[in-house]
Structure 1
Amino acid sequence: MKFNQEHEEDNFPLTRFESMLKTNHVLFFDSDEFENIVNHYLENGKIALAKKAVKLGLDQHPSSSNLKLFKIEILIFENKLDEADRLLAELYELEPQNEEVFIQKANIYSKRDDHQKAIELLEMALEITEDDADIYSLIGMEYLFLDDFQNAKINFMKCLEVDEEDYSALYNVIYCFDFLEQHEEAIDYLNMFLDKNPYCEVAWHQVGKQYFDLKEYEKALAAYEFAIISDDTFIGAYFEKGKVLEKLGRYNEAIENYQITLTLDDPTSFAYLRMGKCYQKLACDDLAIKYFLKTVKEDPLLDKGWIAITDFYTRKMDYQNALYYINKAINIDSENVLYWKRYAKINNRLKFYEEAERGYRKSLELGNYELETWLTRCDILINLGENEAAIANLLEAVEFYPDSAQIEFRLAGLYFSTNEENKGHFHLENGLRLESDYDIILEELFPFVYAKKSVVEKIKRAKSNSSGK
């Protein structure tokens, strides 16, 4: 097989190695070639091939420290920590000044959740390394594992002092600022960084996000514009600029920015959704629904898309279409509580009470314990003549809302309706004690109970007592 010169330089050892695996003919490679082959497989997540390359490499070069370190790295990845520890101890005896030994030893401690010891070892590696940036970054990550955001931030900053183009470290610095809610300090740091790197689009983008969080939208807008000047293909900056323009009510300009993202890369459901929201604000309903539908076509799993369509039709009181789309959403994801809440409300509006009850019941099963959910389900069950189920529903609700007059008056009405007078009086007294004006619930839902002589007397007495205070 013939190779062009560039292919031969870049890929020839890899091609030879893979050919060797297929034929079982053992070929010789120097240790550097094995290292490059292993590194290639590790970077591409091909662990099995990396292991084969390490084994064959050590067969041919048993004293290669770097290949031993690759073997240790793979063992740590596979959680074979004791074996990795043993090999590291052997390597340390031979090369006590090899920084990678300390780094991999720290990796083992990190895997064992002893992050403080990992930091100590990484600080020892700092004393002998010529590549400070990577180690500062590793120390920063260990502090993040400890939730020590202040020290993490300091180490990521040190990493950036050595390597200003390490954008992952820059993101981590800002992550720490954000967690510490130090938005002003983050802006000061980024401005200092930008003094040295005025065309760093990532830094401008992050300045914009800080101002956005502070609701200083004009300053955020300026920062995103500088990010775009620094890199006019920076999709994230166009997205964020669009969001700021929406906040400023400049919907047509926001749409223009979202459209630019569609020309720079494949369309995203987020861009379609935001464009739909902008058109909705501009009262361009046909275009709004067009882009909402594009949203769910692009990403059927994005619940915000289905919710936007459902809410669009609900606002127009087009409940049939709203129900059609929320049913489609539920067919895709039947565990989404936001879908079931809408399903319940729409069916309730359409007077499909059994379906509405099912929707509220499902919402509760999925953990939506808002008081309104319990109460509306109760009222539907009463409407359906399911008094026992309504009582069971409210007794669950009491666990979450023990001092709700709305629950107590409903329980009073239900117990009186099922001829459990003592329980009815008990809950009536609770309701009157909590909020006597909610007696209107009895009047609306249980007019025959409200007219009972004993009930009337209790209500009168409670109200006269409260007005006399």
Structure 2
Amino acid sequence: MEYSQNDENFSLTRFESMLKTNDILFFDSNEFENIIHHYLENGKISLAKRAIKLGLEQHPSSVNLMLYRVEILVIENKFEEANTILDQLYDLEPNNEEVYIQKANVLSKQDQHEKAIEILLMAIGISDAPEDDSDLYALVGMEYLFLDQFDNAIIYFKKCIEVDPSDYSALHNIIYCYDFLNKNAEAISYLNEFLDQNPYCEVAWHQLGRQYFAIKEYAKANAAFDFAIISDDTFVGAYIEKGKVLEKLKQYEDAIENYKITLALDEPTSFALLRIGHCYEKLEKDDLAIQFLKKTVDEDALLDKGWLAITKFYMKRLNYQKALYYINKAVNIDGENVLYWKLYATVNKRLNFLEEAEHGYKRSLELGNYELDTWLDRSDILVALGEYEASIYNLLQAAEFYPENAEIEYRLGGLYFTIQQNEKGRFHLKNAVGLNVEYNFIISELFPHLSDRPIVKAIISDSRNTSN
């Protein structure tokens, strides 16, 4: 028996009315199945459990209701109980595909993916029409994905396409596997074969364009996206990708046109606005560039690429005050973004706001940016601020990440001589010149007061003589 939407709504209304009044009303098993399905689809697990319980009380032999019970047990990670019911169901209906699917699901949830595949292949084996079992093929493909067996996954996702050429989920999974295996040529070959049979499939043209883009065949990528658009002139993704190709071809006006089409077709996206801004910047149309870059952060204040783009826009034009204004706004919105703090430090350094710059580098390090230049820039600013002990501590931490680094050793040598710890100064300076004598300019640049000190001159001179 099939139920219309009105029937389902009526059943739901009766069921929820029954829960409120504690009256016991009768529902046939199909009604219970529709009610349970509705609650599971909407994430109302507790109501689904109530419906299953009442359903099994009225229809204790219903296999479908028992399968829903298994589904709930799997959600709750009660695998043993689920398996017990599945074993009972297998005895009742050994040819019920859904029993095998749920058994495989239990195994999959327990990371027993190879056993799950065995069960699913058994389900395919007992099927009256295995050529129609697209869902089963997809499940096998997904289990192979869990095992990182991408070649095997491709085989089963291709079977899905053979059954249903409009199964775009399977098509995406096939290309995902080829991408993971770095098999662009194979992906292109497969997509071209698919398009020979399905020439108006915009999804396949879109995927083909992306493959050509990945191997930098931009003219072919452009043509593929054109065909995607011909197949569906409202396909926003194709216009976006075509815009990216046109940027690579330095056809910025055409790229802007494609990005603007996406703004007209759908809600504006921060990505499209950002790319338009970059294109106008390439065309040296600064007013339009900054207008769209600002629209980017208005659309999505959490998009770090937008704030970074605006800040760098002003930095390129040496307008560090405005750059600082925008990077400050970014930091205030997301104080855990390491890219913001690194740029915040750079802008403040250009403005000679040394304490603020030091704070920016310190936060960058605290947030995990352990690049060598971050350690060195912070160290140099601490030296400029006269914070020699702090600079030494910073460099000793850096040395844990970059042992035997000449730039660190020169700085440590200079710092220890500066604070009159000459033995340590001699040790690190000798290390430094031994690693790379060409970096000795660091001493004259950062510690000019040491340049004429005899011990410093002697260490550098001895090293030069030795190397000669």
Matches within 5 A, 1:370-385: 370-385=371-386
Superposed displacement of residue 288, structure 1: 1.1
Matched, 1:82 2:80: yes
The superposition leaves residues 288-332 of structure 1 with CA deviations (integer Å, 9 ceiling, x where unpaired) of: 111111111111111111111111111111111111111111111
Superposed displacement of residue 17, structure 1: 2.9
With normalisation by structure 2, the TM-score equals: 0.96
Superposed displacement of residue 11, structure 1: 3.2
Structure 2 Cα separation of the partners of residues 26 and 268 of structure 1: 52
Structure 2 portions without partners, runs of 5+: none
The superposition leaves residues 417-468 of structure 1 with CA deviations (integer Å, 9 ceiling, x where unpaired) of: 11111111111111111111211111111122121112212222211222x3
Structure 1 Cα separation of the partners of residues 142 and 101 of structure 2: 13
SS, match of residue 436 in structure 2 = helix
SS, match of residue 301 in structure 1 = coil
Task: Return 9-18 or 431-440, whichever deviates more.
Answer: 9-18
| 2:278 aligned partner | 277
| 2:116 aligned partner | 118
Superposed displacement of residue 26, structure 1: 3.1
Matches within 5 A, 1:205-220: 205-220=206-221
Give the % identical residues: 65
SS, match of residue 33 in structure 1 = helix
Superposed displacement of residue 9, structure 1: 4.8
Structure 2 Cα separation of the partners of residues 189 and 49 of structure 1: 46
Q: How large is the RMSD of aligned CA atoms in angstroms?
A: 1.5
The superposition leaves residues 394-429 of structure 1 with CA deviations (integer Å, 9 ceiling, x where unpaired) of: 111111111221111111111111111111111111
Structure 2 Cα separation of the partners of residues 292 and 67 of structure 1: 55
Structure 2 Cα separation of the partners of residues 323 and 40 of structure 1: 53
Superposed displacement of residue 6, structure 1: 7.2
| 2:195 aligned partner | 194
Superposed displacement of residue 136, structure 1: 0.8
| 1:19 aligned partner | 17
Matched, 1:315 2:316: yes
Letter in 2 for 1:231: D
Matched, 1:395 2:396: yes
Superposed displacement of residue 237, structure 1: 0.8
Letter in 1 for 2:265: L
Structure 1 Cα separation of the partners of residues 224 and 8 of structure 2: 41
Matched, 1:144 2:145: yes
**Contact 2:157 2:173 (C-alpha < 8 Å) held by counterparts:** yes
Matches within 5 A, 1:119-198: 119-129=117-127, 130=129, 131-198=132-199
Task: Return 108-117 or 78-87, whichever deviates more.
Answer: 78-87
Letter in 1 for 2:80: D
CA distance 1:333–1:399, shift in 2 (3 Å): same
Superposed displacement of residue 7, structure 1: 5.6
Structure 2 Cα separation of the partners of residues 14 and 205 of structure 1: 42
Aligned residues: 463
Matched, 1:101 2:102: no
Matched, 1:408 2:421: no
SS, match of residue 437 in structure 1 = helix
Structure 1 Cα separation of the partners of residues 5 and 368 of structure 2: 58
With normalisation by structure 1, the TM-score equals: 0.96
Superposed displacement of residue 95, structure 1: 0.9
Task: Return 156-165 or 108-117, whichever deviates more.
Answer: 156-165
Matched, 1:92 2:90: yes
| 1:38 aligned partner | 36
Letter in 2 for 1:108: V
Matched, 1:438 2:439: yes
Letter in 2 for 1:226: F
Letter in 2 for 1:238: Y
Structure 2 Cα separation of the partners of residues 299 and 352 of structure 1: 29
**Contact 2:8 2:34 (C-alpha < 8 Å) held by counterparts:** no
The superposition leaves residues 316-362 of structure 1 with CA deviations (integer Å, 9 ceiling, x where unpaired) of: 11111111111111111111110000110111111110110000011
